[in-house]
Amino acid sequence: MLMDREQLIDLTRRAVKLARDKTTDLAPSQYTVNAREYTSVERHERDKTMLLTSPQLVGYASELPKPGAYCTKMVMERSILLTRTADGSVKAFNNVCLHRQSQVATGCGTAKRFSCPYHAWTYDNTGRLVSVPGAEGFPGVTLDADGLTELPAAEFAGFLWVALNPEATLDIVAHLGPLADELASWGIGNWSPLGEKVLDVPINWKLAVDTFAENYHFATVHRRTFALIARSNCAVFDSLGPHHRLVFPLNSILELNNVPEEQWDPFQHMVVIYALFPNIVLSVTIANGELFRIYPGDTPGRSITVHQNSTPLDLSDETVAAGAQKVFDYAHTTVRDEDYRLAETLQANLASGARDQLVFGRNEPGLQHRHRAWSQALDALDAAGSSDRR
């Protein structure tokens, strides 16, 4: 069963009540943000440091289905190789050859050894350098002792995690807090991955995260898509440390009014959105585990979104697999053509300097919490930085 039934029924009760009362969870007050947070180079650099020092969720555990499996991931312009080794554990490495820094692996699949495409230096799946053609040319290189730079890695709550700094300790238990059990309960880790779709867009990375933090815009932006099935400006909000959960009720939720609670099948009537600090969004239904990994680009006005989806359906059936890809395509084109296209006009206006501020309403508690969590983390980083210098 997904999530704790008590907790699920409680969230559903709250959703039904909000829908019945035609309202949404409200923050105590409005919240004002400075436009420069989306446009300043200085803030952009601090944001990048914040991401580099946070545990990074990079995919589903099911992307490494068995020992010998590998996958590669782009995370903030870094190429990372993940492997599942003979003992079943997950390892991660900078996907950077010791010779002249070629990527040693691409895509995903099964391989116990990785032979660099440039001059065939070869590594095993624990990162060790196991062969160098023309080894007499490299007296400074030692087989077995030398290898790819290993990054802290873990499989936890159904997801793959890495730290981008090789020296860091990766403490995901502390990072997720009580959310760990809830995420694990979905079982997304065992669902079948449907691939990655990348959006390289002219919007600040926070603007990309913002689009998933409220459903106030559904009736307008998604008039012909999501709004046909989901309510607008109606969300159950809970902050969970620096993360949050939003429940977006579907239009059908009011049917539950006439059904005794014991008979409720709540997942037929909601989408659950998790924002994981600082840059990850999960959008989950009983049939889809969508993942958005959102990264700052080379300038404040650019970002990269890696969109993944997974399904509990059995993809060995071709018709089922085609149907699942169609659902993924639909969600992807909606985000690309509706949310992000609109956000491009925001970014242009923010960068123009025409207006200094923007405002998040009481009905946008997710946005308020995201921006508060980022500010607090940046303050903590600044404090740590100044005590380092002392």
Residues of this chain that interact with ligand FES (CB under 6 A) are 97, 99-100, 102, 116, 118-121
Q: Which amino acid is at 155?
A: E
Out of Fe ion, ligand FES, none, what residue 97 binds, judged by CB under 5 to 8 A for its kind, is ligand FES
Q: Which is nearer to ligand FES, 53 or 115 (CB)?
A: 115
Residue 102: CB minimum distance to ligand FES, A: 4
> Side-chain half-sphere of 369: how many Cα atoms within 13 Å?
25
Q: Which is nearer to ligand FES, 133 or 187 (CB)?
A: 133
Residue 342: CB minimum distance to Fe ion, A: 9
DSSP character string of 186-246: TTGGGSEEEEEEEEEESS-HHHHHHTTS--TTHHHHTTTTGGGTB-SS--EEEEETTEEEE
Whole-angstrom distance, CA of residue 194 vs CA of residue 191: 9
Out of Fe ion, ligand FES, none, what residue 102 binds, judged by CB under 5 to 8 A for its kind, is ligand FES
Residue 96: CB minimum distance to ligand FES, A: 9
Backbone angles phi and psi of 367, in degrees to 5:
-60, -45
Q: Give the DSSP letter of residue 13.
A: H
Q: Which is nearer to ligand FES, 34 or 101 (CB)?
A: 101
Whole-angstrom distance, CA of residue 144 vs CA of residue 127: 9
Out of ligand FES, Fe ion, none, what residue 332 binds, judged by CB under 5 to 8 A for its kind, is none
Whole-angstrom distance, CA of residue 87 vs CA of residue 89: 6
Q: Which is nearer to ligand FES, 60 or 121 (CB)?
A: 121
Out of Fe ion, ligand FES, none, what residue 339 binds, judged by CB under 5 to 8 A for its kind, is Fe ion
214 contributes a contact to Fe ion by CB under 5 A: no
25 contributes a contact to Fe ion by CB under 5 A: no
The 10 Å Cβ neighbour count of residue 28 is 8
339 contributes a contact to Fe ion by CB under 5 A: yes
Among 7-15, 78-86, 126-134, 338-346, which window interacts with Fe ion (CB under 5 A)? 338-346
Residue 196: CB minimum distance to ligand FES, A: 25
Choose among 75, 105, 14: nearest CA to 291. 75
Whole-angstrom distance, CA of residue 264 vs CA of residue 259: 7
Which residues of the shown chain bind Fe ion in the complex (CB under 5 A)? 339
